[in-house]
Amino acid sequence: MQAWAQDCTPATWLRLAGGRPEAVSPAALIAELAQRDVVLLGEHHTEADHHRWQLHTLAALHAQRPDLIIGFEMFPRRVQPVLDKWVAGELTAQQFLAEVQWDEVWNAPPELYLPLFEFARLQRVPMVALNVDKKLTEAIAAKGWDAVAESEREGVSRPAPAPQPYLDELDRVHREHRNKTPFRYFVEAQQTWDRAMAQALAAESRRPAGAKPLVVGIVGSGHLRHGHGVPLQLRALGVTRLATLLPLGARSECGDIRAGLADALFVLPEREGAKPAPPRLGVALEQQGDAVRIAQVIAGSLAERSGLRTGDIVVSAAGKPIARVARFIETVRRQPEGTWLPVQVKRGAATHELVIRFPAAP
């Protein structure tokens, strides 16, 4: 695929309908998108600016189409009644997060998403849970699609086959994370995730004539790029009037624009005088059932200096058990500068006691 190395103008929409990326009027683009059946808004889950962009885009679309429905990757279908109570104004934010079991179902801080949830409640926009329970994708990753009984698949139908470029991308992710799952099962689990979200979005877009809403999906960018994940499954389900939008970092990602990446991109403005903060600990984490695994340790990072290694399972931090990625992230985030954080990790059959010594404030 052709790539364009170029400087992108901040706060600009770029259309990728064909040829080189071209700046497009926000009003014209939003008016066009409002006529689609499904619009997908991508994100990197822990990037606050991505969620701010999603909120602004939702507001613009809602102004054109008040009959909006918002689907969220973050929620499994079993918590749909809680989403309904939230939109109806029956829960506080604290009650909502507790009842959806946020720490169990998602691995990012809730404050990044609460403005989106508040928007839906204030405007009485229905929220839809797009995902399935993790135990389903974990079962497929462990033994494959065919070994999971149809009664346990939560109504998810067999996904459309993955094109070779998507398989290549999944192979890269599989190797980077040193995933021990057989690659075939890893692909089947990923595509089950894609298919589940596509089915939920398609069902909402097929309401009776005269009541057809605009359905917007809040979904991780990895499920959307190049139309390989959720868009592929939506088209296989007969939903063709759809659009994929992605946020783009002006410096970090602009040179990586490739034909077919999305229908349109929004170039995020840089914060005046701000520099990207380095990772505090310097690790990549992944959820493995009820365990938190260190998928990568960045060379020269505080994690490496503290003795953490790729493959370690985090057992506890500050004396408290750690079973979810979000809890470990929050524990690290709240640790004051200049203090020590005791961490217990399991490495193979052995358990190690480590101490992370956070540098004092300059």
Encode burial over 122-152: b for 16+ CB neighbours within 10 A, e otherwise: eeebbbbbbbbbeebbebbbeebbeebeeee
Check whether 4 has a pLDDT greater than 70. Answer: no
Measured over the CA atoms of residue 12, residue 13, residue 16 and residue 22, the dihedral's sign is negative
pLDDT of residue 209: 59
Check whether 142 has a pLDDT greater than 90. Answer: yes
pLDDT of residue 249: 82
Find, among 138, 173, 133, 186, the residue nearest to 155 by Cα: 133
pLDDT of residue 130: 98
Average pLDDT over residues 143-152: 96
pLDDT of residue 32: 96
Lowest mean pLDDT among 78-92, 190-204, 277-291, 326-340: 277-291
Q: Over the stretch 346-358, which tens digit does the pLDDT of each residue have?
A: 999 999 999 999 9
The CA radius of gyration of the chain, in Å to the nearest whole number, is 21
pLDDT of residue 252: 60
Structure tokens belonging to residue 199: 């089915």
Check whether 90 has a pLDDT greater than 90. Answer: yes
pLDDT of residue 5: 43
Q: Which of 71-75, 174-178, 309-313 tops mean pLDDT?
A: 71-75
Centroid of chain to Cα 330:
18
Check whether 264 has a pLDDT greater than 80. Answer: yes
Give the residue, 280 or 281, on which the prediction is more confident. Answer: 281
- Domains of the chain, first to last: 3-268 (3.40.50.11550), 283-357 (2.30.42.10)
Q: Over the stretch 189-226, which tens digit does the pLDDT of each residue have?
A: 999 999 999 999 999 998 775 678 999 999 999 999 99
pTM: 0.83
pLDDT of residue 16: 83
